[in-house]
Amino acid sequence: MPESGKKRIALVTGASGAIGGAVAELLAQRGEDVYLGYRSQRESAEARAAYLRETYAVQAVALPLELLDRESIRRAVQQIHEQSGRLDILVHSAGVARDKLLIQTQERDFDESLEIHTASLFRLLQACLPVMRSHRYGRIVAFTSYAALHGRAGQSAYAASKAALIGLIKAAALEEIPHGITLNAVAPSVTESAMTDALSNSERARLLAAIPIGRMQTSAEAARLAVWLTSQEASSISGQVLEADTRMHRW
């Protein structure tokens, strides 16, 4: 466990996106040093890292991270360990949506969902857990989805891959709790992001009509629960899926 008052070291995947960026900022607000993993949006990730350094006086580093490549993940974790001496927090927020009816979904779309959401988490865990185990401390949170728990028409590939992520988190949590490492998942409802920005006006209206509070969650609201799960207050919680929504009506 980190020494009292000492900054923890966090890696956030998908940190150039809305939710990942919000997670990185909330961690920085808490005084944690943050590595912002990005795949292609280098300028966005570097600008966000610079903002965090200037605003919160923490170490914030934009880190290239190809989640489909085991070697890229290994190099990224090695860089963090060499520069910071440890890795305390992993938040996996990278995601992709290829929304189509099941009969229209191409196999490559299904495979991509599994790779980005589940297989990449498997690779991340294999790279990060030995480092965390060596310090007998770790906090791991992965974003799943309302769709994984309750289904959603037009999201068969997305829902299936996010559901598989839950199984991975729950199994790994049982293995890692003796080593001082907790693993949990957060299942947001529909959240304002680049994915929802692409919705047509009619799709947005139909979606909002299904949400009791009449609006989508903000990225900060979705991120806040994930960051809480990395805190001391949540140290006894592991292997859980916390739903961050107001129970959508069926749609």
Asked if residues 169 and 239 have their Cβ atoms less than 8 Å apart, the reply is yes
Catalytic residue among 35, 38, 137, 158, which? 158
Q: Within its chain, how far is the Cα of 50 from the centroid?
A: 21
Going 188 to 191 to 195 to 200, the CA torsion angle's sign is positive
Q: Which two tokens stand for residue 190?
A: 């529909």
CA torsion 116-169-35-145 (nearest 10°) is 60
Q: How far apart are CA 19 and CA 26, in angstroms?
A: 11
Q: How far apart are CA 214 and CA 204, in angstroms?
A: 11
Q: Which two tokens stand for residue 54?
A: 């200037």
Which residues, including other chains, have CB under 8 Å from residue 37's CB and lie 6 or more apart? 11, 12, 13, 14, 15, 20, 45, 63, 64, 65, 76, 94
Active-site residue flag, 137? no
Catalytic residues: 158
